[in-house]
């Protein structure tokens, strides 16, 4: 019975995710579902990316948090359009929450939509939001063993961003071991090593985002 209910929830979620995907495609918006542990630097990465790409793409953000609107306010202060979703206890965004947020965004004026999921390495994995890309961030202080412990999220990612490389001299993060384990789970994903604080490595990441936007536009124009 428990399993039945869970299946119903997932089916309903997938249907709404498909609606979100169709709406985003029709508006030529590329949505990126950004997932990580709490405090690994999702918001800072978004701010850096906007800084780099603002002359080439119009970027907006959906912010997911259990509680508070700190991140949406932080983005708003630097002029980034952001809608906050509070899950009120839930450990992930779902397609229906994103659907509501989409209704309040000017989709005709957006090229890239970052969806910052709730800080969690487990729950977001099961819920399609209608995104075009899934990106996982891992910060170096969290340790290189995380793909072992949380395989689902890492195995689903289109890109993996190792953030806080500026802290590498101060934390015991074995990059070689990490890459080996991660690529054992996921050979397709692009891999970026960045520092949201110094800006190191952000350019390569930003270019990858732009290449994907170009790809999406080509797909749309040949439909």
Q: Is residue 67 at the binding interface for a copy of itself, with CB under 8 A as the rule?
A: yes
Q: Is residue 61 at the binding interface for a copy of itself, with CB under 8 A as the rule?
A: no
Q: Is residue 164 at the binding interface for a copy of itself, with CB under 8 A as the rule?
A: yes
By CB under 8 A, name the one of 29, 45, 102, 123 that touches a copy of itself.
123
Candidates 98-106, 120-128, 129-137, 206-214; binding stretch for a copy of itself (CB under 8 A): 120-128
Q: Which residue has the tokens 């997911």?
A: 64
Is residue 214 packed enough to be buried (19+ CB in 10 Å), middle (13-18) or exposed (0-12)? Answer: exposed
- For the bound state, the minimum distance from the C-beta of residue 19 to a copy of itself, rounded and expressed in Å, comes to 21
Question: d(Cα 101, Cα 218) in Å, to the nearest integer?
Answer: 26
Nearest to 85 by CA among 106, 103, 69, 109: 69
Closer to a copy of itself at the Cβ: 166 or 183? 166
Contact 203, 50 (CB under 8 A): no
Binding mask 6-45 for a copy of itself (x = CB under 8 A): ---x---------------------------xxxx-----
Question: d(Cα 103, Cα 83) in Å, to the nearest integer?
Answer: 10
By CB under 8 A, name the one of 52, 84, 120, 165 that touches a copy of itself.
120
Candidates 13-21, 102-110, 162-170, 213-221; binding stretch for a copy of itself (CB under 8 A): 162-170
Which region holds residue 122: left if phi is over 0, alpha if psi is between -120 and 50, else beta?
alpha
Contact 208, 159 (CB under 8 A): yes
Q: What share of the chain is helix, strand, coil (3-state, %, to 5)?
A: 50, 20, 30
Q: Is residue 160 at the binding interface for a copy of itself, with CB under 8 A as the rule?
A: no
Strand residues in the chain grouped as ranges (E): 30-35, 59-65, 81-86, 112-116, 133-139, 159-163, 190-193
- For the bound state, the minimum distance from the C-beta of residue 139 to a copy of itself, rounded and expressed in Å, comes to 6
Closer to a copy of itself at the Cβ: 112 or 118? 118
Q: Which residues bind a copy of itself (CB under 8 A)?
A: 1-2, 5, 9, 37-40, 65-68, 70, 89-91, 118-123, 139, 141-143, 145-146, 148-152, 164, 166-167, 170-171
């Amino acid at each position: 019975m428990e399993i039945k209910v869970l299946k119903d929830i997932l089916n309903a979620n997938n249907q709404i995710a498909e609606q979100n995907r169709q709406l985003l495609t029709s508006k030529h918006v590329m949505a990126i579902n950004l997932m990580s542990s709490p405090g690994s630097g999702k918001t800072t990465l978004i701010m850096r990316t906007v800084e780099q790409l603002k002359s080439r793409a119009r970027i907006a953000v959906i912010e997911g948090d259990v509680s508070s609107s700190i991140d949406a306010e932080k983005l708003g202060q630097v002029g980034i359009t952001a809608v906050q979703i509070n899950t009120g206890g839930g450990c992930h965004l779902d397609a229906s929450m994103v659907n509501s947020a989409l209704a309040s965004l000017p989709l005709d004026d957006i090229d890239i939509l970052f969806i910052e999921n709730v800080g969690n390495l487990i729950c977001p994995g099961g819920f399609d939001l209608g995104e075009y890309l899934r990106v996982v961030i891992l910060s170096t202080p969290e340790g290189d063993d995380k793909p072992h412990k949380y395989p689902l999220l890492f195995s689903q990612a289109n890109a993996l961003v190792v953030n806080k490389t500026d802290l590498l001299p101060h934390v015991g993060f074995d990059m070689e071991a990490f890459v080996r384990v991660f690529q054992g789970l996921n050979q397709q994903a692009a891999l970026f090593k960045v520092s949201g604080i110094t800006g190191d490595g952000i350019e390569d990441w930003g270019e990858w985002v732009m290449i994907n936007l170009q790809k999406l536009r080509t797909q749309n124009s040949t439909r």
